[in-house]
Every structure is written in C-alpha cells, then in structure tokens.
Amino acid sequence: MDRQAFLFGYGNQGRSLAKSLRTDKFKLHIIESTPAYYEKAKSDKFLDVVLADITSDDQLEALHIDDDSYIICVMEDEHLNVFLTLSLRSLYPNATIVAISDSIYTTQKLKMAGANKIIDIYKVSAYRIHNMLVRPVATKLLDSFISDDSKISFREMLIPEGSFLDGKMIDEIDFSGYGILLVGMLDLELSNKFIFITSGIDHKLDSGDTIVCMGYNEDLEKFSILIQEEEI
C-alpha cells in the first residue's frame, strides 16, 4: 500500500512538492484553506483535495490521519504554519510532521511546536547556489535528470588498451570538462567490484576497466569515441 501524505498548503512550495509526491508512490491528500489554491489543486488534476478551516481542531481531527502517515506543513503564512504544526502535533502525536521554514526564528518555533523535520528554504537555496558555483556541470545534469529530460542517460564504457585513460588516476581526469559525470567504475584489480566515485578513493584506471558515466547522450557519445584515442 502506498504511504499516506497529507500536504497542508498549495502555494508555490506546496504545488511543487505535490507534483513530486504524485510520482513517488504516495497517496497524497491536499488540504487547503484558501479557495483559490483549492481550485488550483483541483485544476492540476489532484483527486483528493479538501477545503478546510485549518484553525479548527474539529476539521483537522476529521481527517483521521494515521500514526504512520506523513504530515507536510507548507502554508505560506509562517505564523499559520507554526500554529498548524502545533495543532496537528496535539491531535496526531505519533505522525511524522515535516514543516517548511524561511528563517531561524521560524525554525525554532516549529521545533517547539513539535515538527519532526524542518526544511530551511534559505539553507537549501544556499547549498544550491554553492553547488551551482563549484559544481556547475553536476548541478545542470542532475537538474535535467530530475526533470525527466530524455536526453540524459547513463552509459558504460570499456577502457581499451592504449586509451588516454589507461594508467591515469581518476583525479587526473576532469570529466566535467567533457560535459559528463563519472558515477563509478568496475575495477578488474578489485575483483570486478563496482566502486562509486563518492567512495572518496582515488582509483587508477586501467585498460579492461569499465566506467559508468552520466550526461547528455551527445556528450556521452563523443566521450565514448574519445577514449578510444591515445592522445587528446
């Protein structure tokens, strides 16, 4: 059975989150107190949408949220979001509550109100900006992959004898310069075990090893041809 998720708020943050949850095996319930947002959720073809007064404990209790459900509070009014979190924690003490925050002060209030997990949108934005600056290729590819861009894929490439990669350490090769990401490799010296690049170990590439890369199909094709060459 799909997990139950109760999303409170269908503003900008809520709408984006709802579309992600719809494709992630959640039985999604949207609860909105603003008629305009309620109608927007309905027009986006969400089936389980409730227009409710979220300041009413009786209406919140009528939702009958199970202990193993996820409650997500993304109301645009931060004060209302804190009040809602407090009310839901009182009514559903065992459910998991995730709330959104836009300041350190709101984060503190949400913690006191009983939220299990708080997403600080400014902190998330800061991490994203950092990644865009120091890992532009990775950020671009992952954004495209997440958005279901059909031009993005993975490819296995066998390193032939005499390739410019043969004998090089992974850190010596700037894969991002070719517009691709190295995901991992099958190292013959390590019993053909797949090694994720995130393991932090600088492996030596040898002929016969297989590397797994992610990128745009066009860039992957160019690189697969390029590794056949001895010099670049």
Whether residues 160 and 122 fall in one domain? no
Q: Count structural domains, the chain.
A: 2
Query: What stretches of the chain show up as alpha helix (H) in DSSP?
Result: 12-22, 35-43, 57-61, 78-91, 104-113, 121-134, 136-146, 217-226
Whether residues 75 and 116 fall in one domain? yes
Percent pLDDT > 90 in the chain is: 40
Question: How much of the chain is helix, strand and coil, in % rounded to 5?
Answer: 40, 25, 35
Identify the domain containing residue 176 by its residue range. Answer: 152-226
- Whether residue 59 lies inside any domain: the answer is yes
Whether residues 73 and 170 fall in one domain? no
Cα dihedral 27, 32, 35, 41 in deg (nearest 10): -30
Contact (Cβ atoms closer than 8 angstroms) between residue 211 and residue 163: no
Position 193 pLDDT exceeds 70: no
Task: Give pTM, 2 decimals.
Answer: 0.58
- Whether residue 137 lies inside any domain: the answer is no
The pLDDT tens digits for 144-168 are 655 555 577 778 889 998 899 998 8
Whether residues 122 and 156 fall in one domain? no
The pLDDT tens digits for 60-116 are 999 999 999 999 999 989 899 999 999 999 999 999 999 988 888 888 999 999 999
